[in-house]
């Protein structure tokens, strides 16, 4: 009987420590150590891949990796042009957001691809019921309800599928480790076994992982370092739209994003994201402004909503959904200090439409405009949009690929776009480009112009 002992793991980087620490010495994160019991004297055995000799770089063929199309334009694009053979892809997200739905829809849409769907959460009958609801071709999809890694890999080696899906990493366990399924050491072991399996057989593996709202539960952060690609689901699970973002990709670009709509028959691709992110109302309302943003290579437009009201209590509230609240505070400070707006006794609420999480600084101008529009209770006309970063001295700074944002805005029927005076954008047909140098100039043009 192996002896048990307690060790502490960092949920962010997987670092192991014999005692609790407030701050992980390896990655410097605070409050990430979790306790776990492990058996001593039983190290996990990983066979070393054989047959690899050092090769000279110039002798290595430069042929592209072979990619498998998943017959889903949005996912293929996110992966950088299809699934690379032998790659391990993590699909993360909160429970209920649609990971199982998406991962079952993939094999159903690819009848020419033999797929093994391993479920540790649902029985084959449950998977079948879901598959029938989703519709598609059931003939080439094999279901295995199992949670022990060694059994799963043996079955997979015997079946030789073209794709393996494992739902979810938290329910799987390996015999090599004594701690329970879902613990950091199990998750690391399961992921490294799958990685070895994918690399040695060339069979790509799609691995599902649950993440809680704060991204904290043991696992996925550690997993990110092991896998080749991380696709993360975002969005509000009450609303119909889901955003899948590529946050790590060894075979393509990150910062790409795909939008899906959850329907009664599974997830539908939304090829034109502006469609969902644009206003639902026909008349112009105060407190809203449209931002022209960019994800990876694709420009799209979405609505920023702000509400400015007199603070009911002494300390005004600042809350932002989908936007960094520190950046909102910075923008409000700029409005106060550089343009003289008294916002320090006001509550300010900010929301990005569609459950989107925005990090593009080009959205600053739309945020500022939405806040001012609510403050003045003055609606910004419908056909107007914004693309500019706001600096600390209140200046409007140019943004990358401004010309593509302008072209997309014109294509969607916008007739006016506000950008920085310092940006150089060629004249575009159908849209008036208004250049503003700073916040006072913006206010003058927008509300008094």
Residue 364 half-sphere exposure, CB side, CA atoms within 13 Å?
A: 27
Q: Assign 325 to helix, strand or coil.
A: helix
Q: Which of 36, 87, 100, 174 binds ligand TYD (CB under 6 A)?
A: 100
101 binds Mg ion (CB under 5 A): no
User: Coil, strand, or helix at residue 155?
Assistant: helix
User: Helical H runs in 14-144?
Assistant: 73-78, 99-109, 124-134
Query: In whole angstroms, what is the distance from residue 444 CA to residue 229 CA?
Result: 47
Closest CA to 353 of 240, 211, 270, 232: 240
Q: Report yes or no: 291 and 353 within 8 Å, Cβ to Cβ.
A: no
Cβ proximity to Mg ion: between 82 and 98 the closer is 98
Binding-site residue total for Mg ion (CB under 5 A)?
Answer: 1
| Near ligand TYD in 55-94, by CB under 6 A | 93
Closer by beta carbon to ligand TYD, 105 or else 305: 105
Q: How many other β-carbons are positioned within 10 Å of the β-carbon of residue 136? A: 18
- 97: partner contacted, choices Mg ion, ligand TYD, none (Cβ within 5-8 A by kind): ligand TYD
Binding mask 43-82 for Mg ion (x = CB under 5 A): ----------------------------------------
28: partner contacted, choices Mg ion, ligand TYD, none (Cβ within 5-8 A by kind): none
Paired with 320 in beta bridges are 350
Total residues in contact with ligand TYD, by rule CB under 6 A? 15
105 binds Mg ion (CB under 5 A): no
For position 100 contacting Mg ion by CB under 5 A, the verdict is: yes
Binding partner of residue 98 among Mg ion, ligand TYD, none, CB cut-off 5 to 8 Å per kind: ligand TYD
Interface with ligand TYD, residue 133, by CB under 6 A? yes
Nearer Cβ to ligand TYD (71/298): 71
Q: Which long-range contacts (CB under 8 A, 24 or more apart) does 269-275 make?
A: 269/72, 269/73, 269/74, 270/74, 270/241, 271/73, 271/74, 272/300, 273/298, 273/300, 273/302, 274/300, 274/301, 274/302, 274/408, 274/412
Q: Which is nearer to ligand TYD, 136 or 394 (CB)?
A: 136
Site for ligand TYD in 245-264 (CB under 6 A): 262, 264
Distance of CA 125 to the CA centre of its chain: 31
Positions that interact with ligand TYD (CB under 6 A): 93, 95-101, 130, 133-134, 262, 264-266
């Amino acid at each position: 009987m192996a002896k048990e002992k307690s060790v502490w793991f960092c949920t962010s980087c997987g670092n192991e420590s014999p005692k609790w620490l407030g701050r992980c010495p390896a990655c410097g994160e605070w409050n990430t150590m979790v306790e776990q019991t492990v058996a001593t004297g039983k190290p996990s055995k990983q066979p070393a891949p054989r047959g690899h000799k050092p090769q000279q770089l110039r002798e290595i063929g430069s042929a592209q990796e072979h990619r498998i199309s998943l017959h889903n334009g949005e996912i293929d694009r996110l992966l950088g042009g299809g699934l690379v053979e032998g790659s391990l892809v993590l699909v993360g997200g909160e429970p209920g957001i649609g990971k199982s739905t998406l991962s079952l829809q993939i094999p159903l849409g690819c009848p020419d691809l033999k797929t093994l769907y391993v479920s540790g959460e649902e029985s084959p009958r449950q998977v079948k019921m879901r598959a029938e609801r989703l519709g598609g071709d059931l003939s080439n999809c094999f279901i295995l309800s199992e949670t022990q890694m060694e059994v799963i890999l043996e079955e997979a080696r015997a079946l030789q599928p073209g794709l393996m899906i494992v739902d979810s990493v938290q329910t799987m366990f390996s015999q090599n480790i004594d701690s329970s399924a879902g613990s950091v050491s199990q998750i690391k072991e399961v992921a490294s076994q799958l990685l070895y399996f994918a690399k040695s057989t060339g069979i790509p593996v799609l691995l599902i992982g649950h993440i809680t709202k704060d991204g904290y539960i043991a696992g996925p952060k550690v997993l990110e370092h092991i896998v080749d690609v991380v696709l993360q689901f975002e969005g509000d699970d009450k609303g119909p739209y889901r955003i899948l973002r590529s946050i790590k990709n060894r075979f393509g670009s990150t910062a790409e994003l795909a939008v899906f709509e959850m329907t009664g028959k599974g997830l539908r691709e939304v090829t034109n994201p502006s469609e969902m992110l644009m206003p639902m109302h026909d008349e112009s309302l105060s407190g809203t402004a449209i931002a022209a943003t960019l994800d990876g290579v694709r420009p799209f437009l979405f609505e920023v909503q702000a509400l400015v009201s007199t603070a009911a209590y002494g300390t005004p509230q600042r809350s932002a959904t989908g936007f960094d609240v520190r950046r909102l505070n910075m923008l409000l400070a700029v409005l106060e200090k550089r343009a003289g707006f008294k916002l320090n006794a006001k509550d300010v609420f900010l929301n990005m439409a569609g459950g989107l999480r925005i990090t593009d600084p080009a959205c600053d101008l739309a945020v500022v405009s939405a806040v001012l529009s609510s403050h003045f209770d003055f609606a910004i006309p419908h056909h107007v949009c914004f693309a500019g970063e706001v600096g600390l001295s209140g200046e409007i700074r140019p943004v990358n690929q401004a010309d593509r944002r302008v072209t997309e805005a014109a294509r969607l029927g916008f007739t006016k776009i506000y950008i920085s005076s310092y940006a150089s954008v060629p004249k575009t047909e159908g849209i008036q480009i208004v250049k503003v140098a700073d916040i006072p100039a913006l206010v003058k043009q927008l509300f008094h112009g």
